[in-house]
Structure 1
Amino acid sequence: MMRKELYSCFPPWSRYRSAVPLGTTAKEEMDRFWNKNINSKRPLSPHITIYSWSLPMMMSITHRGTGIALSAGVSLFGLAALLLPGNFESHLELVKSLGLGPTLIHTAKFALVFPLMYHTWNGIRHLMWDLGKGLKIPQLYQSGVVVLVLTVLSSVGLAAM
């Protein structure tokens, strides 16, 4: 049956029985919404006014960033080992022949080892959380400071080798 024929089977008053007349227009609804929010003095964006940068938040972001950086670094190192001619000793000799100063070498080694140490120490912190330890707010900050101190000390120590 065609749609017209189907509609013709029913009286006109029954065709619109389920239709509900709109009480307001879309513009009126939007105006009501914004007026309610303005009158309630709520912030429009919670990220600007409610959330302030905290140590646990920054450490979580950094943990994810170091994980991505370490994955990319290992992948690039493996790809370079496959594609570049020569072996590790020849590449090490190339770096030595550049005559870079000890300060620059130490800084480069620190920059390479810092993400690894941070991700390791913060990963141990996360494992403690998985055991249900250190989940109170003061303990979060204390363990965060411990992780940062251990990261810097172990990075300086490994870079000095």
Structure 2
Amino acid sequence: MAALALRGFGRRCLLARLGPGPALHQTIPMATTAQEEMRRFWERNSRSGRPVSPHVSIYKWSLPMAMSISHRGTGVALSLGVSLFSVAALLLPESFPHYLAQVRALSLGPALLCSAKFLLALPLCYHSWNGVRHLAWDLGKGLRLPQVTQSGLLVLALTLLSSAALAAL
């Protein structure tokens, strides 16, 4: 509070000492406000027909784009899954075989059990095969667009086959 009073007093003294000068009376008013500038910008943008967001209308979804996003997503999901499993293993009172026996006691049908195993294996297999693909890219192999698409289809096929094989175990 004292700082504000001192500031106000100092300002008044400074203005009194300087007196009305050219700096105080000859200020140039701003032509427009920021709000008016933004309004004019959006009017020009809507008249030109340009899209508001390039992700909505310019870029088409392609296989490499979708696989890149999926690779990141499976990496995060696997990391969270391992972390949660580790915390559960530390905090739960019983050992893993006890909980496995409880799942077996539920008498789930083989189709449901195989589907659950397939869904658990799918992100691991996809992330692993796509990681091999990225390692090949790091070596400079398969970077042309047709090769990128072919390797993407190969990764998807290998993912489905290896996930099915792991689910059948």
Bigger mean CA offset, 2-11 vs 73-82: 2-11
Matched with 2:150 is: 142
2:50 corresponds to which of 29, 34, 42: 42
Distance 2:166 2:86 in 1: 22
Whole-angstrom CA distance in 1 between matches of 2:32 and 2:102: 76
Q: Pick closer, same or farther for the CA change 1:19–1:117 going to 2, 3 Å.
A: farther
Q: For 1:53, what is the secondary structure of its paired residue?
A: coil
Matches of 2:99 and 2:62, distance apart in 1: 42
Deviates more, 1:73-82 or 1:102-111: 73-82
Q: Which amino acid aligns with 2:130?
A: N
**Partner of 2:18: helix, strand, or coil?**
coil
Residue-by-residue CA offset, 1:32-69 (whole Å, 9 max, x unaligned) = 31232123221122222112222122112211221121
Name the structure with the higher helix share: 2
Aligned partner of residue 100 in structure 1, secondary structure: coil
Q: What is the match of residue 69 of structure 1?
A: 77
Gaps of 5+ in 2: 1-8
CA distance in 2, matches of 1:16, 1:125: 68
Residue 153 of structure 1: how far off its partner (Å)? 0.8
Structure 2-normalised TM-score?
0.80
The answer to whether the aligner puts 1:58 opposite 2:66 as a matched pair is: yes
Deviation of residue 107 (structure 1)?
0.9
Q: Tell me how far apart the structure 2 counterparts of residues 133 and 151 of structure 1 sit (CA, whole Å).
A: 20
Letter in 1 for 2:120: L
- CA gap of 1:40–1:90, structure 2 versus 1, over 3 A, is same
In 1, Cα distance between equivalents of 2:98 and 2:71:
34
Of 108-117 and 64-73, deviating more is 64-73
Please give the per-residue CA displacement for 1:9-31, whole angstroms capped at 9, x wherever unaligned: 33533324884432234454234
Among candidates 27, 31, 43, match of residue 23 of structure 1: 31
1:1-161 alignment, distance < 5 Å: 2-16=10-24, 19-26=27-34, 28-161=36-169
Give the stretch that moved more between structures: 50-59 or 128-137: 128-137
The number of aligned residues is: 161
| Whole-angstrom CA distance in 2 between matches of 1:69 and 1:42 | 37
Identity %: 58
Structure 1 unpaired stretches of 5+: none
| Separation (CA, whole Å) in 1 of partners of 2:145 and 2:18 | 67
